[in-house]
Amino acid sequence: MIRFSKKIEYALGTLQFLGLHQNTPISARELSIKLKIPYEFLSKTLQQLARSGIVIANYGIKGGYHLAKKPSEIHFSDIIDALDENASVVDCVDGLEASCERYNYCNIKNPLLELQSKIFELIRSTTLEDLLKDFKSTKFDVANLDC
Amino acid sequence: MIRFSKKIEYALGTLQFLGLHQNTPISARELSIKLKIPYEFLSKTLQQLARSGIVIANYGIKGGYHLAKKPSEIHFSDIIDALDENASVVDCVDGLEASCERYNYCNIKNPLLELQSKIFELIRSTTLEDLLKDFKSTKFDVANLDC
DNA sequence: TAAAATACGATTATTTTAATCGTATATTTA
DNA sequence: TAAATATACGATTAAAATAATCGTATTTTA
Ligand code: SF4
Ligand code: SF4
């Protein structure tokens, strides 16, 4: 199996929402309710995104989170990195041979690394803007969206 | 995270080995030893590959497994399908709305499905031949390979 | 007919992912 | 300046997915 984790899905949905409301900070609590994501989990995810400079945290009574950059500058690969996940099809990527016990006698790694770099390129070239363009093109009334 | 399972890796290594010895059937036991894969696990994996017409099982005292088709005709997507795994980046692929509880209010699925179809295409277009070409090009002495 | 091989359901162990808990800290505004 | 509203984050628990193992049956051929 090869799949995005829930954490990544949550992050994508959240960033999309923030992208639709770029002017005002939105609290983790509100995001959690609107997007039906467990608060503590989302909260921690937002903290990770903040540490990586993808969103900005605003403290205080009217605080919340907002995007730190333009949607077109937020690559999926950045998001995955920020969440400490990785998109490697195999373990032995980072040159850390130790990461896989069969590294030395493994004859499939090179072709797999090739495939992986192609997948990486796809993920890198997808940005938050791709999550927003449907809304743009259909001129959705953002204010009235449940989500 | 987005990664091939061990089962898939084992299958790829095994098919590569079978591809290097296309003339003679090789028993699950021998494959398990040569490739250092737990026997029962590999055995079941081979059965799945056999059911899907990727390898052919030969019973009896000189039996074993051999490839059912040319390497160029064995796509990675076939292998993944055979092993009952899938390469979907998200759950909601198959049009089974029920597969995800948030389907109805989810606004990220369309762009993700787009990304997914590109990844699918990469996986489909990679074949067992890609796992063998290094051996071909370097004129490896297959007979002397440990693996 | 015995040996060597595959077939396969069922169970257990391990690892990864997801969710929750508890407490500390920062900021704003009334 | 105090109370309310937020974020910060380590630690723990729960749930799910993956990997490994067990036990027994069936098939073929030397
Ligand atoms: S070395 Fe081979 S077996 Fe190990 S992670 Fe890489 S591809 Fe997989
Ligand atoms: S519907 Fe949305 S949340 Fe559900 S699996 Fe698809 S992309 Fe993910």
pLDDT digits (tens, 9 = 90+) for B11-58: 999 999 999 999 889 999 999 999 999 999 999 999 999 999 999 999
A61 CA → D3 C1’, Å: 11
Work out if B54's Cβ lies within 7 angstroms of strand C.
no
Is residue B99 very low, low, confident or very high in pLDDT (cuts 50, 70, 90)?
low
Ligand 2 pocket member B106 (CB < 6 A): yes
Lining ligand 1 with CB less than 6 A are A 90-92, 100, 102-103, 106, 108-109, 112; B 9
The phi-psi region of residue A129 (left if phi > 0; otherwise alpha if psi is between -120 and 50; otherwise beta) is: alpha
**Hey, is A56 helix, strand or coil?**
strand
Closest CB from A102, A110, A134 relative to B110: A134
pLDDT at A29 over 50: yes
What is the percentage of chain A residues whose pLDDT exceeds 90? 66
pLDDT at B143 over 50: no
User: Are the C-beta atoms of B10 and B77 separated by less than 8 Å?
Assistant: no
CATH fold of B6-86+128-144 reads: Arc Repressor Mutant, subunit A (1.10.10)
Closest CB from B2, B76, B108 relative to A3: B2
Residue A146, number of CB atoms within 10 A of its CB: 9
pTM of the model: 0.90
Work out if B43's Cβ lies within 7 angstroms of strand C.
yes
pLDDT at A144 over 80: no
Share in percent of chain B as helix, strand, coil (round to 5):
60, 5, 35
pLDDT given for residue A137 in this prediction: 56
Domain assignments of chain A as residue spans, ordered by start: 6-86+128-144
User: Are the C-beta atoms of B124 and B77 separated by less than 8 Å?
Assistant: yes
Work out if B105's Cβ lies within 7 angstroms of strand C.
no
Is residue B141 very low, low, confident or very high in pLDDT (cuts 50, 70, 90)?
very low
B27 CA → C7 C1’, Å: 14
**Hey, is B66 helix, strand or coil?**
strand
**Average model confidence (pLDDT) for chain B?**
87
pLDDT given for residue B114 in this prediction: 92
pLDDT given for residue A142 in this prediction: 43
Q: Which of the residue ranges A82-86, A123-127, B3-7 would you say has the lowest mean pLDDT?
A: A82-86
Using N-to-C axis directions, what is the helix angle for A109-125 and B128-138, rounded to 10°? Answer: 130
CA distance linking residue A21 with residue B115, whole number of Å: 24
Is residue A131 very low, low, confident or very high in pLDDT (cuts 50, 70, 90)?
very high
pLDDT at A54 over 90: yes
**Hey, is A127 helix, strand or coil?**
strand
Q: Which of the residue ranges A16-20, A103-107, A120-124, A138-142 would you say has the lowest mean pLDDT?
A: A138-142
* Tokens encoding A61: 């009574």
pLDDT at B144 over 60: no
pLDDT given for residue B139 in this prediction: 44
Is residue B129 very low, low, confident or very high in pLDDT (cuts 50, 70, 90)?
very high
pLDDT given for residue A90 in this prediction: 85
Mean pLDDT for the stretch of residues A15-19: 95
pLDDT given for residue A87 in this prediction: 83
